Amino acid sequence: MKRFLLAWLCAALLAASGSGGATPPPLAEPHTQAEIEKLFLSVPDPKIAEEDLRVLTSAPHIAGSPEDKKTAEFVAQKFREAGLQTEIVEYKVWMNYPAEISMDVVAPPGVKMHGPRPERVSSDPYQDDPRIVVPYCGMSPSGDVEAEVIYANYGRLEDFKRLQQMNIDVRGKIVMVRYGTNYRGVKAYLAQQFGAAGLLIYSDPLEDGYFKGEPYPKGPWRPATGVQRGSIAYTFNLPGDPTTPGIVSVPGLPLSQRTPPQRADMPKVPTTPLSWADAEPILKHMAGLESPRDWQGALPFTYHLGPGPVRVRMHLKQDYAYRAIWDVIGRVPGSVYPDEWVLAGNHHDAWVYGAVDPGSGTVAMLEAVRGLGRMLKAGWRPKRTIIFGSWDAEEHGLMGSTEWAEQHAAELDRAVAYVNMDSAVSGANFGASAVPSLKQFLRDVAKAVPSPKGGTLYQAWRVAGEIPSQPDVPDSGRMPVVQLNNDAPVGDLGSGSDYTPFLQHLGIPSTDMASSGSYGVYHSAFDDFTWFKRFADPDFAYEQEMARVFGLAVVRLADSDVLPYDDENYGKEIAAYLRTAQDRAEKMFGKPPSFAAALEAAERFARAGAAISRVQPKDAAEVAAVNRALREAERALLLPNGLPGRPWFRHAIYAPGRYTGYAAAVIPGVNEAIDAGDLQATEQQLAALTAALNHAANILERQR
């Protein structure tokens, strides 16, 4: 039996050595963790990554389309080839395609614009495919609106308030805003609250075009006709299918069990995206006050606020239906702790070709899966069960991941971590986000991964000091990173990708990672194989790197007997969030509520985390007890009643900000109560947070 296994190992190693580099030495029996990792790292192959991306980007594959289903089948086939137990899971979700989308300038006379004009550049081999979806906003309502236009900068809360201070009333008007600094769904949410009749969101060349550098096809930046499609779903209140809050959108779910769409929490203001080529004639002919200077973009004239005299007619006819979507789930049973699950995933639906978003992540995941397959053939068995998810309909509102997480909510109590990728490669700068308990773990994984720049990924990451942006949202504003040392920076998790249901609904510690660059084709037809090969990763060396770091994180989470959580750091970072909030509360209230109990609870959690990390379990029972405590302490950070006004979001430490969308709102209950100037709610939220932290500390202390 042993000899047989050894033969397998040698064969596997010989096969693995085919991908370049020195032949790894044969594995001794029993093989060490170092040997296992060496075998894994030898597998991801730039050539195969390139072939896979070519297949994945061969056709537009929006969620629910026949091409999207083919993409799911391709991923499932790769999972099966690697030896994963694989299934395709179908859901039926409420979502829209565009039926008729147009906007026309109807006044003043002489100004003409009929959009959206097709996305065209001087040369791109993919731009004429009739399957390219007309630029539109996922989850926008239909509507016919004709009104004067008002310019509202980024459409942030402070921008709408500033218009109010200048006595410019957006009620009944079409509001025009530029992309950047916040999630487009927050722009739509605020436009609705301030009474706008319509919303146009355009890409200004200042943050997304020629001001950044040479536009495509000469350079990587957004060309004049490039449009950023995207969802405006209110995912900061409720991600997933908006007609099934908290329940699963299984096929055949009776309509009587769904919230009727007109009563669901969905955007109410007709909203659509524009290129700057289509936005220019509107902005250029606006009158009224000169815009504040920091509202000026990079188009070659002075921006004015309006209203008018430009009037626009928006005609949006959305084709809404319950549509089938397909998640792909691949499983490797654990050999020692089969009831503990390591989750990893990324989505497979794309607005158009999706070379970066999400193809680059799918490719890296598939190469990681192939690495695991090679190890399985060599006789390796992960100690914990590993589950890979290739999610659908992320772009419309995190639908595939949310529905799956809701379906398995009870069993997911056994999940120990979720490792996410999305737009995994658009350049050479590595960045990552994670809960504080996994930040050091990620740095340690990066120390074992070679960088295409030479040395290790960790060294390159630390030198660049790149503060991570949300991978799915270039130019959405960088999050402040609470960092208690000058090590490689790891950001906090906001919302904008598929970790949301796992972390923010179920309390599963999560991470997200990407290698980013000059990504000027986000959600446009030009995010295609040609752009990727020229500007993102010509040699697929960063795809190889991402496959290695993502896969190695999964392998280590699956195989380390004691879970690699650092709750000492978690407690310290929470204490830092609290001190910042305390300063804000003093400014807001003058005499703020006491933060002493919450701070003491955070510090107690940190001390308990330090103590449990020193425990050396003597036997399997003790390992199990320590791991149970570590897992339960993470779950203890869930608030029993969720966050005020959005009970689906239960995490006490992280939620998407309702006024920022993607950026992480830390200790969101407390911070949002301070923002609202509500002293009583601040006190209540501090008490709830204190209770959660003491509960978590208590669980850890019992294991000392």
What are the residues whose beta carbons fall under 8 Å from the beta carbon of 382, sequence distance 6 or more?
332, 334, 335, 342, 372, 555, 558, 559
One-letter amino acid at 468 equals: P
| Helical H segments across 499-565, by residue range | 499-500, 529-531, 541-559
Closest distance to Zn ion from the beta carbon of 525 (Å): 16
**CB-nearer residue toward Zn ion: 311 or 523:** 523
- Asked whether 148 and 311 are in contact (CB, 8 A), the reply is yes
**CB-nearer residue toward Zn ion: 393 or 697:** 393
The CA-atom distances, in angstroms, between 670 and each of 74, 302, 574, 697 are: 45, 41, 12, 20
Closest distance to Zn ion from the beta carbon of 419 (Å): 16
* Distance from C-alpha of 250 to C-alpha of 248, rounded to nearest angstrom: 6
**CB-nearer residue toward Zn ion: 119 or 422:** 422
Per the structure block, which two tokens stand in for 334?
């654990």
Residues present in the chain in total: 704
Q: In this structure, is the dihedral angle defined by the CA atoms of residues 666, 672, 678 and 680, taken in order, positive or negative?
A: negative
Full DSSP string of 466-484: PPPPPTT-TTS-PPP---S
Closest distance to Zn ion from the beta carbon of 547 (Å): 18
Per the structure block, which two tokens stand in for 337?
């702790």
Closest distance to Zn ion from the beta carbon of 423 (Å): 6
596-613 and 620-635 helices, crossing angle to 10°:
160
**CB-nearer residue toward Zn ion: 403 or 472:** 472
* Distance from C-alpha of 512 to C-alpha of 431, rounded to nearest angstrom: 9
* Distance from C-alpha of 650 to C-alpha of 643, rounded to nearest angstrom: 6
Closest distance to Zn ion from the beta carbon of 379 (Å): 36
| Helical H segments across 490-595, by residue range | 499-500, 529-531, 541-559, 567-589
* Distance from C-alpha of 596 to C-alpha of 221, rounded to nearest angstrom: 49
Spatial CA neighbour of 15 closest among 421, 350, 375: 375
Chain residues binding Zn ion by CB under 5 A are: 357-358, 422, 472
Closest distance to Zn ion from the beta carbon of 296 (Å): 30
**CB-nearer residue toward Zn ion: 362 or 385:** 362
**CB-nearer residue toward Zn ion: 45 or 472:** 472
The CA-atom distances, in angstroms, between 291 and each of 276, 286, 622, 660 are: 18, 10, 65, 22
- Asked whether 319 and 141 are in contact (CB, 8 A), the reply is no
Closest distance to Zn ion from the beta carbon of 200 (Å): 23
* Distance from C-alpha of 698 to C-alpha of 683, rounded to nearest angstrom: 22
E strand or H helix at 313, and its extent? Answer: strand 311-332
Closest distance to Zn ion from the beta carbon of 472 (Å): 4
* Distance from C-alpha of 568 to C-alpha of 99, rounded to nearest angstrom: 53
Closest distance to Zn ion from the beta carbon of 303 (Å): 31
Catalytic: 207?
no
Spatial CA neighbour of 337 closest among 506, 607, 563, 645: 563
Closest distance to Zn ion from the beta carbon of 170 (Å): 30
**CB-nearer residue toward Zn ion: 318 or 346:** 346
SS3 state at 685? helix
Per the structure block, which two tokens stand in for 228?
């950023």
Partners of residue 519 on adjacent β-strands? none
Which residue among the candidates 37, 394, 406, 545 is catalytic per the annotation? 394
Full DSSP string of 154-184: T--HHHHHHHHHTT---TTSEEEEESBSB-H
What are the residues whose beta carbons fall under 8 Å from the beta carbon of 560, sequence distance 6 or more?
none
**CB-nearer residue toward Zn ion: 406 or 422:** 422
**CB-nearer residue toward Zn ion: 44 or 400:** 400
360-377 and 66-81 helices, crossing angle to 10°:
20
| Helical H segments across 590-619, by residue range | 596-613
**CB-nearer residue toward Zn ion: 141 or 358:** 358
Give residue 326's region: left, alpha or beta (phi > 0; psi -120 to 50). Answer: beta
**CB-nearer residue toward Zn ion: 50 or 422:** 422
Partners of residue 146 on adjacent β-strands? 313
Estimate the share of the chain in helix, then strand, then coil, as percent rounded to the nearest 5.
40, 20, 40
Closest distance to Zn ion from the beta carbon of 686 (Å): 35
* Distance from C-alpha of 526 to C-alpha of 275, rounded to nearest angstrom: 13
Q: Residue 404's CB: how many other CB atoms inside 10 A?
A: 26
**CB-nearer residue toward Zn ion: 347 or 556:** 347
Q: Is the peptide bond before 30 cis (omega within 30 degrees of 0)?
A: yes
Catalytic residues: 394
